[in-house]
Structure 1
Amino acid sequence: SVQTGGDGASLKPVWMLPSRCRRSAGVEWFLKPPERRRVDVAQLAPGLGPAYLDSPLKGRVSFTEASLSDSSIIIADVKMSDECEYICSYLNLPSGLFVRIVTSLVVLAKPINTASPVTVAAGAAPVVVARCNSTNGKPAAQISWATGVDGNATVTETPGTGSTRTVTSELWLVPTAADNGRDVRCVVSHRAQEKPETIDMWLSIEYPPQVTIAVYDDEWYVGGGNARLVCQADGNPPPSAVTWTVPSDLMPGTVRVKENILTVPKVDRRMNATFVCEASNRLGVGRQRVTPVIRGEPYCHAHRARPWGSTRDTR
């Protein structure tokens, strides 16, 4: 019999004689732990009813019926320590044969499954980016990964509590900024589970800021007003600040800067300058520069922005 810990187990002896030829003068159940003497569990005798002896099962074991016609027993709240051989003995009449039937109880332990991403910095070498644990299972669980990333998994198995096993699987990857936030799933399969358990998580890859500048070409013409440059900085952790500078360190006096947006209220040829956007986090600095092309007259097409570059740690 195979049961999950905490459930109930029914042990039914398999009789070799047909029921019409079987008559018992009494039934006894014993348990036989490995490398230990057998322990009396329960007895059933004609006219006396069931008796439950002092054993690890006392209070949890009972006969299915208080009748010699069915000598099956039920064990409630099965524990890992209940796993062993069980012996049913009876005296068959009229043959006078003393019969023993041995059955085994196998107890499964449902594991506790957990998983989490491992925060790492983008780099050129493989590192562990996610970890999945299946703790105290019996038998050992099977762990697989469902991902959209080009990684490899390793699996280790260690002893758990009692006769259980703990399985750990690690997902290895050469982490890039593009992998940050990607969904990966740990899938744990085990005999004590009704179906495989899937745990979703999102990768946490840290990287220095990556900077682009959006240029609205149709705003940059002589006589135009409120021409804009928009600095877009992405990083993990998020950039703490965005600043605008010019290589000469002399920002034109009419230029206005508010957070990541640089605005020129009125455009003239003197605004043909190079502007640098810089963003930083604790991993580094990202920079991008742009020199807007100032035209003599406005565009006639629809208003649109043109991204300019994507760099980090450049000057």
Structure 2
Amino acid sequence: MILTYAAFISLGLIWGSNFIYMKWAAALISPEQIVLLRVFFGFLPLAFTAWHKGMIDRSQLRHLPHFFVMAVAATAFYYFAIVKGTQLLPSGIAGVLGGSIALFTSISSLLFLQTEKFNRLMAIGVVLGFVGIVLITRPWEGENNSVNLVGVIWMLSGAIVLGLSYVYVRRFLSPLSLQPLALVTWQMGLALIVLLPLTDFSGIGRILENSHAAIGLVVGLGVLGTGTAFLLYYFLLEKLGAIASSGSTYITPVVALLIGWIAGEKVGWLELAAVILILTGIAMLQIGRQQAAHQIIPSQKP
């Protein structure tokens, strides 16, 4: 059990540190180049593990259209959106907004999955989550706003698309009973193929001018933040189940905000209040979903 808890904490720390690595890299190379390198170095440990466990075979090729949708939306676009957002925002604020993924996943599930039922607790969770987002973005400050609203839009766009992708997985991929590791390996591999012809390689070598940025991108963002993070997540799925595993996302915005503060970014009461509201909203959504599921099950019995 100690190993399981260590994996849980490590996953939250890894995801939370991703934003500072993106911030460092964005000062040297383009968002497209960051995404390409992240996917490449994240794909390597996934592909090796999937091959070692014998989880990839030719029969899965018939599901290629579904893999392609996930590669474009949940990998290429999502990673690009959060890099663009992090480039324009303090890394701590980007991390807090990135933590809203669970919020948009719940909303997407409620809108597009008939199995999801809405209740009062979930409604309060949605309201709290959006109040937290409004607090941290401070739209009332207008032109004097220190938070770049274009960056906010990029972050929320990525969160919305990733939230919708979970619905896509539930509707089209879950019934196929594929191993999650096989799915994400196909997803990363196809995303790499899509990104290669779309990426301008001019100046990509500038990442080597800063060793912290280079190591952060290759090791922190690629190998750890993408490849190892997926492996840890699937390990936790087996040990703890989906709901408990998703709890590691609660650590992510806190870690991102703390790292940003250590790096010299301003962290005030608005940022702290936003984190509390967003995390409380997500918690209420999850509890509400569990309550709704318990209410549905008895009604389905003869």
TM range (shorter): under 0.3
**Larger helix fraction of residues:** 2
**Larger strand fraction of residues:** 1
TM-score, length-normalised on structure 1? 0.16
Bigger radius of gyration: 1
Which structure is richer in relative contact order (CA contacts within 8 A, separation 6 or more)?
2
TM-score, length-normalised on structure 2? 0.17
